[in-house]
Structure 1
Amino acid sequence: MPSGQRETTVSVPLTPTRSDLYWRRIFNKYDKDNDGKISYVELKEIIESREYDHDLPDNVVDKIMGLADRDNSGYLDFREFVEMMQNPDLKAVFGHFVARYVHSIIPHRGPVDTTGRWPGFQTVSTSDGDGTYEEEYSCWPPAVCMILISLLEIVLFCYDAALGKSDTTGPMAQLFIYNPNKRYEAWRFLTYMLVHVGVVHLLVNLLVQLFLGVPLEMVHKWWRVTLVYLAGVVAGSLATSLTDPRVYLAGASGGVYALIAAHIATIVMNWAEMEFAIIQLLVFLLLAAVDIGTAIYYRYYKHMTQNIGYVAHFAGAVAGLLVGIGVLRNLEKRKWEKRLWWAAVVLYFALMLAGVLANIFWTSHFL
């Protein structure tokens, strides 16, 4: 330690801590003139950086500087900078966007050497248990897409139930159900998701798609989750029409399984940024395997008549996995993930094109 400087209340470790290196990397990034201080201009650049979500007006920057500059020097030294980032009073100024910004540029996991550099550009996390992925949860914009789809399903079901027809014999169900004898009515390949066979069937799909879909929307936004959901629905009907050409389809299971697989996709693509990734992955894989396995067992081994379109489940899951890899957010792109992205996109469009063409031109299969 240089002469004239000493710490009276804080013991200094022999080597830099992970937290010191963590903040030092951010501090050095915005200390443009390398004078060991963050000026007003440099602080403003931090806040208005392209990596940050919202610009703040000058008076807010003044307030932040006033709170953080403890010695009124007009600059922030390293210790003041760290205190600023950890100051609970500033959370009211920044909101949750500061945490999102900080966790988007700081290192996540990996070995650290005493020079402050991360070998191979690997990163570490200093969060208190939550991974970087978990920091991305946001209630704005509101996650309402899955809620609106669920409400539409409820309204159509209640309309038919009010007529005493809750078993797909009502007018709404007859209009939207996938009917193999009316394959030329192409909308049925999508709208069958709005039709349900009984209250239990409806409630199960509602619960799953809300509990899985809303959290996805909070991180990946509504339009990405909608694409995944609808891709699973369409893939389920296309695959079922080819494998079981005389089977009727009702229910949102194709979309539900797409959401399950989308969670798997986002776990794979954000493995290093997610807390307890392996546990979450195993839970979703087990859920999907048990459900599909049970349907296959009862149909082919117990020879029981089951109204479960397991092919729609499986196809929806495949579509959800591929589309999820293609459209869901990847917080930190790596080379192998870019190759996986291209593979998923090409495979999805190849399978969908094959399914559409087979349904159009393989007419003998449906006689």
Structure 2
Amino acid sequence: MPGQGETTVSVPLTPTRSDLYWRRIFNKYDRDADGKISYAELKEIIESREYEHDLPDNVVEKIMKLADRDNSGYLDFNEFVEMMHNPDFKAVFGHFVARYVHSIVPHRGPVDTTVVSTHSKTIFTYSDGTYEEEYSCWPPAICMILISVVEIVMFCYDAAHGSTTAVGPLAKIFIYNPHKRHEAWRFITYMFVHVGVVHLLVNLLVQLFLGVPLEMVHRWWRVTLVYLAGVAAGSLATSLTDPRVHLAGASGGVYALIAAHIATIIMNWAEMEFAIIQLLVFLLLAAVDIGTAVYDRYWGAGITNIGYVAHLAGAVAGLLVGIGVLRNLEKRKWEKRLWWAAVIIYCSLMIAGILANVFWVDHFPESKL
């Protein structure tokens, strides 16, 4: 039984989101990753730039003496959590810890931790943005950068040979040409070909600003799968709906990245900051761009050749493949069913598109060898 004035902290046997929250902060303090916070580590953190003008010289000694219950000279994880919850630290350490914690952990959504004493029951609520905590610069996010470099190099090569309108020597080899559908690589490599500087710059900006953040959380191979799935879906869908058009540009992959962001918002809704705002922004941008492309194609005053079908197909592929391969930080039952539905629908659509391109010969112009 706790004595008068003593405080008992309830520690659940299985990890909760609150446990993970404090574990991340504990690991941030534990500079040498030995599972313990030493006096030196605690002193280094408190005397860092955030606190150098705030605390008196003896504060670290007071904190360690009060928090180190077993006098080991270190704070283990349980002692650390008790220290953060202990009302005795309010006067010594409270708001300084809170300010430091708030500076390193993004916040949204309630996470409850309960502290029980003999006199009262107090509920402390904490919130975090778990998804944002997953951003990492290692391994470096270079996949989208490398793809962008290849696109720039190919464009510059063709420009040096007098053409920036997808009729240069490299463009002729890599563009999707409906008369050369037997050259299967064209269903993917058209993403390296661009018609004009503006076309190239727009795709580069979007895929870098969207692709690199995705890579930092989900790693390069997942983002590459999403990107290539959008590119392949864009060419397959265009070949079926506009069987006589040539296709150039990375818009299928770009729209796959946009839709992948929507997928990751859906799958990590509770773990993301400002999820609803991000979702609405991506949906609005995609709707405006596709709507403009459709209008210009059929009702605009000028003659345009925007492959809006590739945009739509890339977005659908990005959404489905994003749900299937991108990281889901906290799986729920309905998300598992959604995962199976996304995988089955995507595979079915891709198989149908490939079979139609192979066997629906009369639908396409005659091939030129």
TM-score, normalized by length of structure 2?
Answer: 0.74
Per the alignment, residue 160 of structure 1 pairs with 158
CA distance in 1, matches of 2:175, 2:11: 57
Unaligned 5+ runs, structure 1: 8-15, 31-45, 91-98, 117-123
> In structure 2, what is the equivalent of residue 352 of structure 1?
350
1:173 match: 171
- Residue 314 of structure 1 aligns to a residue whose secondary structure is helix
Matches within 5 A, 1:8-23: none
Q: Distance in 2 between matches of 1:290 and 1:204?
A: 15
Task: Please provide the CA RMSD for this pair.
Answer: 3.7
Whether the 8 Å contact between 2:214 and 2:261 is mirrored in structure 1 is yes
The structural deviation recorded for 1:306 is 1.1
Shift in Å, 1:298 = 1.9
Equivalent residue letter for 1:242: L
Identity %: 67
Aligned partner letter, 1:81: V
Alignment-derived partner of residue 224 in structure 2: 226
Q: Which residue of 2 aligns with 1:215?
A: 213
Q: Which moved more, 1:197-206 or 1:64-73?
A: 64-73
Q: Give the Cα separation in 2 of the matches to 1:261 and 1:77.
A: 40
Task: Give the match for residue 36 of structure 1.
Answer: none
> Does 1 or 2 have the higher relative contact order (CA < 8 Å, sep 6+)?
2
From 327, 330, 333, the counterpart of 1:332: 330
Contact 1:160-1:172 within 8 A present in 2 as well = yes
Provide the secondary structure at the position in 2 that maps to 1:343.
helix
Q: Closer, same or farther in 2 for the Cα pair 1:315/1:125, shift >3 Å?
A: farther
Q: Where does residue 64 of structure 2 map in the other structure?
A: 70
Contact 2:154 2:170 in 1 (8 A): yes
Query: What is the alpha-carbon distance in structure 2 between the residues aligned to residue 237 and residue 364 of structure 1?
Result: 18
Q: Gaps spanning 5+ residues in structure 2: where?
A: 16-22, 43-62, 86-92, 98-103, 117-123
Instruction: Give the deviation of 1:268 after TM superposition.
Output: 0.4
Structure 1 counterpart of 2:64, one-letter code:
R
Deviations 1:142-162 (A, max 9, x none): 000000000000001111111
The aligned counterpart of 2:126 is 126
Distance 1:184 1:288, change over 3 A: same
Query: Does 2:259 correspond to 1:257?
Result: no
- Asked if structure 2 preserves the Cα contact closer than 8 Å seen for 1:156 and 1:195, the reply is yes
The Cα offsets for residues 31-65 of structure 1, whole Å up to 9 and x where unpaired, read as xxxxxxxxxxxxxxx89xxxx9xx9988x346648
Cα distance change on mapping 1:318 and 1:80 into 2, 3 Å: closer
251-260 vs 155-164, which deviates more?
155-164
Shift of 1:77: 8.5
**Alignment partner of 1:306 out of 304, 307, 319:** 304
1:3 is displaced (CA, Å) by 4.0
Counterpart code for 1:335? K
State the number of aligned residues. Answer: 310
The one-letter amino acid paired with 1:358 is: A
Native 8 Å contact 2:111 2:126 kept in 1: no
Query: Displacement of 1:315 after TM fit?
Result: 0.2
Structure whose residues are more often strand by fraction: 2
